[in-house]
Chain A
Amino acid sequence: MRLIAESSETAKGFKPLILPHHAPKNLFGAGARSARRSGVGEDFFSYREYGFGDDARQIDWRHSARSDEIFIREHERLLPHHVYLDCDTSPAMQFNSRGNLPTKAYAAQRLLLAAAQLLMQGESKVSSLRAGRMHKNNFAELTQQLCAAHENLPSLPKMNPRSFILLAGDFRQGAKIWKSFISRAYDMNVLGICIQMLDPIEHEFPFYGRIRLESVEEQEIIIIPNSDIVRPLYLDRMAREQSEMQRLCERHGWRWLSLTTDMPPRMQLGKFLELFTYARDIGNE
């Protein structure tokens, strides 16, 4: 419940995230896809005779004046986007270096749920990737599924083209492992965002002197006699790994976003939303 409350608090004040209807073929290019049926939409679809139950505000008086019938103007019906979310909840993600910081998994889940709320407000259908199929928007169920513990990578279910995937985790498996997943999604015309959530000590390696590092998942131990010397090496390796993931994403039209748990939640959400602003700007060019 705390997670839901915090995610709602995070999303509060942001505009609904409406994925563009006519999105160019770029980031998240699926946009809203035409159902070729009438419905709630912005574009004209057809006229039809006014009948019982129709909203009087929909009557097209100009067209009706040309005949004896009363017509209403039907707009093309827009089908909602399908957005699939997945969060890495493996033990490595259940880590925080300080008590006042959230775990990596918690911070990722909070961000995903805040984004889900904005997407739902923007008429998107949001579901967990691991649920296997798209359900009706059910925020509580989504929360539960995002928080469920699992260690393996998500599998890619059969999706409608131009669906959208949000993956959150630390992506410690590396670009080679993720390549098959992302390329298969790309083949299905599905795009997405990889959100890397790191703890500050992973990002900064703020150690000095002799230090004994113990892994979170396995009983692996490394004793570093002089962390000052090792720091640049570590940061270089981390930057290289992030760079590989970013290149992998960009090659397949995906986007890469790296965040740390010590960032304020609304700032994390803001950085996430900036990706869409960037995409929209490109699309308007």
Chain B
Amino acid sequence: MSDTLLGKINLQSPEYFWLLLVVPLLWWLLRLIPPDAVRRRFPSLRLLQNLPRLRPQTAFTPLWLLILRGAIMILFVLGFTSPIWSSGDIDLPPPDQPIMLLIDNCWSAVPNFQALRDKALSILEPLPPEQNIAVLVTCPATADPMISQGVVPVPRARALIHRIKLQDETADWARLLHAMQTLELAPIANVTFVSSGLIYHDDLARLLQELSAYDQVAIALPPESLLPVILSPATDRQKIRVEVQRFTDIGTSVYNIITRDKNGYILTLDKIQIPDGKRSESMALSIPPEALEEISTLQIPNMGMTAQLSWNPPEIPARIGLVANNLVNSFTNPNRYLNAALTDKTQLVINNWPALLEQNLPVIISAVPELPTEQLNAIAAWLQQGGRLIRFAGLEVPSNPDQLLPGRPMEMLYHLNEQFLYPEPLGLAAFPPDSPFQNLRFHFSPHFYQHWLINAVDLSDKRIWANYADQTPMILSKTVGQGESLLITTPPTPSGGNWIFSGAFPAMLEKMIARPTNALTNIKTVIETDQITVLNKNNIPDNIAITDLNNIQARIMLAPYIFILAILLWLADQALIITRFAGLIRAEK
């Protein structure tokens, strides 16, 4: 079971290695017992009388002959151990050990699915037919991810793998892990996860926890160059060009490309459209070539795919409640952008109203829904006690806004549609003197494409924290008891502007949620993000072997070659003897 540069050699019958112990014994015996002398009649025996005393011949066995014959013996023993060479780097399990194959067939497996399937099949290739195999998929077509319905022999497993279909959905790890536990193969099973290389952050944690129950675990990964989205700066001096690849060529997609500097501030926000039938498209970034060195991060925040996850917006030292059932990875879901704008360390607590109010967190609603009276009363009571509610303008203007809203929305102004009310996107005006943002300084000026208009009559008792460049209020605040209700008049989506992706947003959000610390007690920590993790050796524990998804070359039974080599060496040995003893053999004839 040795790793080599060329591949891996597995021994099917390592017990035969005990025979190596016999080699020195044979050597000793051969030297101890001299070979029987060749018998010859010889008339001139008188000339051989009174010979000087000679040492036995065996004491003069040449070293090279000993080495040669020792090598022949060792080769024979090695042949009996049935070694198998494989260019793959997964250990071959013994025949009585069950094998569990987890095969990724969710959306992220699209570009490499054939390789994934080939890899899974190649793992079965050298196994005896009677070996027990369990085949599970991350994204089952039916309700049961355990497509093999328990352990099956190798031929059946092979057929099942051929039948696995790609699913354009996210992985259902909860069900998969449950299926793994149902099989009750821990810790004896040899588990191999044939992975697409991408996994949601929380899924990874759950998977690793489950895999820790098994002794031998391997994860087959594609090279990072085959991940679904690849961004690479072009070398064109005239323009900074990037090429965006997607994992499918079906449908037209629009992606945002965000570049950030080393401080995390957005430098550019561009859109690129990949038309139906194409997998990739290139475009020039809207900054001069000289600015290339300033770019530290390129991001595509669409559809949950982020090629580089190195962007770290300023940390918000707080927990924030978010009213949402889950973070759907939809381009139009504002929660997704809110989440993307925050750091890992920001504790975004997704829950329903009563639970959030109970935790006394600042609460964000990414839209302004018409809430039932009962909930409004509960929220009002919570605000009275010091709660803080932050709401974003949505695409729809509520016809009957609640009283907690700081300002009455009149209409939504669109910039980037056919109406074109503004010739240029709006920037931010200087913050009002009493604004909590007063001392904030940005390297980057966000701009806005959409915002609500607010009825000026309602602004008397409201604080305006920020204005657009045309002095339309951007963030309004209304004090409710000890608490505060805030309204941000632009939606937290790329269609609303680039503010949500800019460094300005987390900095401003930090101010918005800042409250007296006595309000932040007894908070249950629930963290949920939809960040995707690129699987690599940095985030996979050392006891899990990482293998190359593309390394699926066939295994070779080495025993015949070793035996042939041993026989050739033996023939060479005999040829040497014949050469040396030619005279004697001629005489014997």
Interface residues, chain A, CB within 8 Å of chain B?
Answer: 92, 95, 97-98, 104, 170, 172, 198-202, 204, 206-217, 220, 222-226, 229-230, 233-234, 237-238, 241
Contact = CB atoms under 8 A, between A and B. Distances in A.
B43 A199 contact: yes
Contacts of A98: 586-587, 589
A65 to B, nearest CB: 70
8 contacts: A202-B44, A208-B581, A209-B35, A209-B584, A210-B36, A212-B38, A222-B48, A226-B60
B32 to A, nearest CB: 14
B42 interface: yes
Contacts of B56: 225-226
Contacts of B52: 233
B54 A210 contact: no
A interface secondary structure, majority: mixed
Contact of A216 (B42, B51, B586): B42
A224 to B, nearest CB: 7
Interface string B185-200: 0000000000000000
Given A208-B584, A234-B47, A234-B48, A226 B57 contact: yes
Contacts of A207: 38, 40, 583-584, 587
B537 interface: no
A127 to B, nearest CB: 28
B163 interface: no
B294 to A, nearest CB: 84
B54 A172 contact: no
Contact of B42 (A208, A210, A213, A225): A213
A21 B51 CA distance: 51
Contacts of A211: 37-40, 584
A238 B44 contact: yes
Contacts of A104: 43
Interface residues of B, number: 30
- A211, A213, A220: most-surrounded residue (chain B CB, <10 A): A213
Given A225-B57, A230-B54, A238 B47 contact: yes
Contacts of A95: 41, 43
Given A206-B586, A208-B580, A224-B51, A214 B43 contact: no
A209 B584 CA distance: 10
Contact of A204 (B34, B46, B583): B583
Contacts of A199: 43
Interface string B523-566: 00000000000000000000000000000000000000000000
Interface in B568-589: 580-581, 583-584, 586-587, 589
Given A204-B583, A209-B581, A226-B57, A233 B40 contact: no
Instruction: For the complex of A and B, list the 7 residue pairs with the smallest distance between their C-beta atoms, beginning with the closest.
Output: A206-B583, A212-B37, A213-B42, A237-B47, A215-B45, A210-B37, A226-B57
A202 B581 contact: no
B55 interface: yes
Contact of A202 (B35, B43, B60): B43
Given A172-B46, A233-B51, A209 B40 contact: no
Contacts of A200: 587
A135 B581 CA distance: 51
B42 A214 contact: yes
Contacts, number: 108
Given A206-B587, A230-B54, A216 B41 contact: yes
A213 to B, nearest CB: 4
A206 B57 CA distance: 17
B43 A212 contact: no
Nearest to A201: B587
Nearest to A238: B47
Nearest to A95: B43
A212 B36 CA distance: 9
Given A172-B46, A210-B37, A230 B584 contact: no
Contacts of B580: 208
Nearest to A214: B41
Interface string B90-133: 00000000000000000000000000000000000000000000
A214 B48 CA distance: 11
Interface in B1-54: 34-49, 51-52, 54
A172 B42 CA distance: 13
Contacts of B40: 201, 207, 211-214
Nearest to B56: A225
Contacts of B55: 225-226
Contacts of B584: 206-209, 211
Nearest to B580: A208
B587 to A, nearest CB: 5
A233 B51 CA distance: 9
B44 A172 contact: yes
A224 B55 CA distance: 10
B57 A210 contact: yes
Contacts of A222: 45, 48-49, 51
B589 to A, nearest CB: 6
Contacts of A229: 54
A224 B34 CA distance: 12
Contacts of A234: 44, 47-48
Contacts of A208: 580-581, 583-584
A234 B52 CA distance: 12
A259 to B, nearest CB: 15
Nearest to A202: B44
B54 A226 contact: yes
Contacts of A237: 47
A85 B38 CA distance: 38
A88 to B, nearest CB: 11
Nearest to B36: A210
